[in-house]
Amino acid sequence: MKKLINIFLIFTATIIGCEAPIDLELNNSETGVVVIEALLRNVNKRDFVKITKTTSFYDNEGEDLVSGANVVLEGNGTSYNLIESSHPDSTGYYIKPNNLSFNNGETYTLTVIAEGETYTATSTMNYLPGIDSMEIYYDDIQFIFASEAFQIAPEDTSYNIELTYQEDGELGDGYLFKYYVNDSLASVNPRDFVFFDDEFLIEGPVTGAAQSFTKAVAQYGDTITIEMLSIHPDFITFYEVLFNQTDLSGNLFASSPPANVPTNFSNGARGFFQVADVNYKTKIFKPLYKE
């Protein structure tokens, strides 16, 4: 046991004591690769296709947005041209028509012609169950380690958004959950997304936490809206790798080895195209008991 303790102390000291600068020779050959972000929802809202290009690790000038592209969405026997935003701060964003709707089980093709190159991807809108009910509860896990020495600050008190919906029992579906506070999107970053497939779900009612938030994000009286989207399981893999390569990047113990984020675009483009059905449920955030 003493030997193990000594080894641990040496390992810890080695990690803490490593302060020598390390110059990395980074490969910049992957700069200029087209990246296409296209999550289009079956709802009358202002969705978009965003086109950028990868830049050097040392480039601090922000995103390299691609303007002047031709973006066409085909499906339902019709093609739709997505027009680039005219706002000077939104070049590279191509807007979905508000009246465009998708059909369950239908496959859609997105074609992007940018700087003389053509990129295509297809996506099928999957089944999405309706939301039967929504409740907001305390996250019980936070109280397991709470004590007088480790108290939970009021603004750090966390809550779960619990949903009940009917699963159809057919495999191959995936779900993505986001939430809004007073109509403003609160789950913005990959670490804020909740997603899973239906591999272990059985036919019938499903109840579980779909999102969580703290009192620092929402106060009593605020309107909380959950957004449930149908996505393909491949899109779940995309989000998992994206999370590992962004939010967990640099974490010695949690991050995975660097790898390209999956894509369903042709011709070497990165990113992902997904059409998604959407359901919403809204509730006023109220105290669960008198505080």
The SS3 assignment for 3 reads: helix
In a domain, 270, yes or no: no
In a domain, 22, yes or no: no
101, 124, 147 — which closes off a domain? 124
pLDDT of residue 248: 47
Q: How far lies 227's CA from each of 131, 163, 276, in Å?
A: 10, 11, 11
Query: Using only C-alpha atoms, what is the Rg of the chain?
Result: 23
Total number of domains constituting the chain: 2
Q: Where does residue 179 rank: exposed (0-12), middle (13-18), buried (19+ CB within 10 A)? A: buried
Residues 64 and 156 in one domain: no
Residues 196 and 251 in one domain: yes
In a domain, 143, yes or no: yes
99, 124, 149 — which closes off a domain? 124
Host domain of residue 73: 34-124
Q: Of 46-50, 53-57, 62-66, 150-154, give the lowest mean pLDDT range.
A: 53-57
Quick one: what percent of the chain has pLDDT higher than 90? 52
In a domain, 265, yes or no: no
The SS3 assignment for 242 reads: helix
**Spatial CA neighbour of 49 closest among 78, 75, 83, 74:** 83
**Spatial CA neighbour of 114 closest among 266, 225, 282, 4:** 266
Residues 240 and 159 in one domain: yes
Q: In one letter, which amino acid is 198?
A: D
Residues 104 and 173 in one domain: no
- Per-residue pLDDT for 258 more than 70? no
The residue-averaged pLDDT of 191-196 equals 88
In a domain, 189, yes or no: yes
Q: Which residue has the higher pLDDT, 36 or 99?
A: 36
Banded pLDDT at 247 (limits 50, 70, 90): low
124, 144, 177 — which closes off a domain? 124
Residues 148 and 114 in one domain: no
d(C-alpha 198, C-alpha 27), whole Å = 39
pTM of the predicted model as reported, rounded to 2 decimal places = 0.80
Residues 167 and 118 in one domain: no
In a domain, 71, yes or no: yes
Task: Collect all residues with Cβ–Cβ distance below 8 Å to 70 and sequence separation of at least 6.
Answer: 81, 111, 112, 113, 114
pLDDT tens digit sequence for 138-147: 888 887 777 7
